[in-house]
Amino acid sequence: MEYKNGDTIEIKGTKSNVDNTATLTIINNSSASLNLTGGTQKTIISGTNASNFTATNPSLFTLIPGNSTSFTVNFKTNVLGDKVAELSIPNDDLTNSNFKLNLKGVFEPKETWVLSGNMNASRGDLISNILADGKIIVSGGYDGASGLLSSEILDPEIGNWSLTGNMSTQRIRHSSAEITGNQVLISGGYISGAGTVLNSSEIYNSNTKNWTQAGNMNTPRYGHQLIRLQNGKILAVGGSISNACGDCVTKTTEIFDPNTGLWSSTGSTNIVRPGDKNGILLNDGRVLIVGGYVGNWPPGYTISSSCEIYNPLTDNWTLTGSMNSVRSPGTFGIVLLNNGKVLVSGGFDNNTTTLSSTEIFDPNSGTWTVSTNMNNPRVQHTSVLLDNGNVIVIGGYFRTAGLTTINLAAELFNPSLGRWSTTAEISEGKIQFATKKLKSGAVIIIGGSIYNSQLASFPNSTKKAEIYFP
């Protein structure tokens, strides 16, 4: 294709931080020699997004009549949005001595991670929820020095974060659930420093952009899970009731009624189950809770592979089939598949060995079946069902022979084939981040705690958010 002075060259890319290349050829069609007159760099890039483009030097700087020389222009980005710049090729052709082309980089991400805008505050152990308009609200968490009471909202279409109303108190390891598209319930958590465990709950209204107090839970708890039932009520499961521990993980569960704004106690689980990321709503309206502890936690506890199901119609908890592997609560991934079965992956088996094994629960038979192993063992990762029916697992870390490795590469599971494959890497190793699937089908991870290979006790929290495009 021939380009004239002032034309636009469009370069498309689908992967983050990968060079996408256009090769250009300069042809001397005149009867006189053509000299490229720039300095050391004969092809010069400038303009708004010049940093997203690079250009090589042509192989020849002087072209006799009929000769040609080629060079490449590279476009690279990890941020959504088109990028523009200008390419200049100074020369001694009197008619085109300041030859220029417009550069347009078009990023159409696929199977890659893209940086979104940064939050206003660094946050680990935060929570996130999807609002009716597709925006995301995050609240609380830990900034590396103290707990947070602030909240902020992301517009994923433009990647901008804006502060919204504050909660009444700082909260770390609290839990949340959407009541309606415009309302989000949060409960519990603890206050940094004092270590006070909270029983309070609050509701965010996206119309007023404010939090209002709701009824208190009957039991203070953190590290618990809130699960919205099909009848619109919200179940609180497990969690720890004291930072001092002892017998600190509770069997108690309770239900929030959005119509009254009050909590009521319901049946207790058969063994203590922390609840943190261990429960999932089944298609038939029941709730599955996976794993737990037998005995006091800590000390003297034993990790259990047992599971149980809550039936809202009978208000009872019933034991169901146990997993094939022992998995420490809060360390494995769990996700509901399109066929109504439940996939669990990885985790610690006894707080020392990191698992790569996975297994699948069938709610109809109440049994677990061993599935194929992930490519890498991992703990404290997250799992998300994609629109195509595959599952992506993200983040976490693993330990082998006393060495700790942070998982950067995400993995994809194809339930139809029972096969795992690696996909693109996230930008930084982290755990304790928030994960949500956007209305577009992309997956966003937000914040988190940044750990080095030694898993330092006081990690730095991050402001970053990044989006995976399947």
Bridge partners (DSSP) listed for residue 419:
414
CB 71 within 8 A of CB 55: yes
**Average pLDDT value for residue range 347-373:** 94
Q: With the CA atoms of 177, 181, 183 and 187 taken in that order, what torsion angle do they form, in degrees rounded to the nearest 10?
A: 0
31 torsion bin: left (phi>0), alpha (psi -120 to 50), beta (else): alpha
Name the one residue in this structure whose structure tokens are 């929290």.
Answer: 461
Reported as a pLDDT band with limits 50, 70 and 90, residue 131 is: very high
Task: Give per-residue pLDDT as tens, 280-332.
Answer: 999 999 999 999 887 665 566 788 999 999 999 999 999 999 999 999 888 99
pLDDT for 245:
60
pLDDT for 193:
81
Q: Identity (one letter) of the amino acid at 151?
A: S
What φ, ψ does residue 205 adopt, rounded to 5°? Answer: -115, 115
CB 309 within 8 A of CB 287: yes
275 torsion bin: left (phi>0), alpha (psi -120 to 50), beta (else): left
Q: 157, 255, 161: which is closest to 215 by C-alpha?
A: 255
Q: In angstroms, how far is the first alpha carbon of the chain from the final one?
A: 32
pLDDT for 246:
44
**Average pLDDT value for residue range 417-445:** 94
Reported as a pLDDT band with limits 50, 70 and 90, residue 122 is: very high
CB 329 within 8 A of CB 273: yes
Task: Give per-residue pLDDT as tens, 80-110.
Answer: 889 999 999 999 998 889 899 999 999 999 9
Token pair belonging to 165: 């109303």
Task: Give per-residue pLDDT as tens, 137-157.
Answer: 999 999 988 999 999 999 998
Higher pLDDT residue, 240 or 74?
74
pLDDT at 450 over 60: yes
Higher pLDDT residue, 159 or 262?
262
| 37-41, 79-83, 334-338, 396-400, range with the lowest pLDDT | 396-400
pLDDT for 250:
87
pLDDT for 458:
45
Task: Give per-residue pLDDT as tens, 22-65.
Answer: 999 999 999 999 999 989 999 999 999 999 999 999 999 999 99
| Rounded Cα–Cα distance for residues 177 and 28 (Å) | 67
pTM of the shown model: 0.91
Higher pLDDT residue, 450 or 73?
73
Domains along the sequence of the chain with CATH: 8-107 (2.60.40.10)
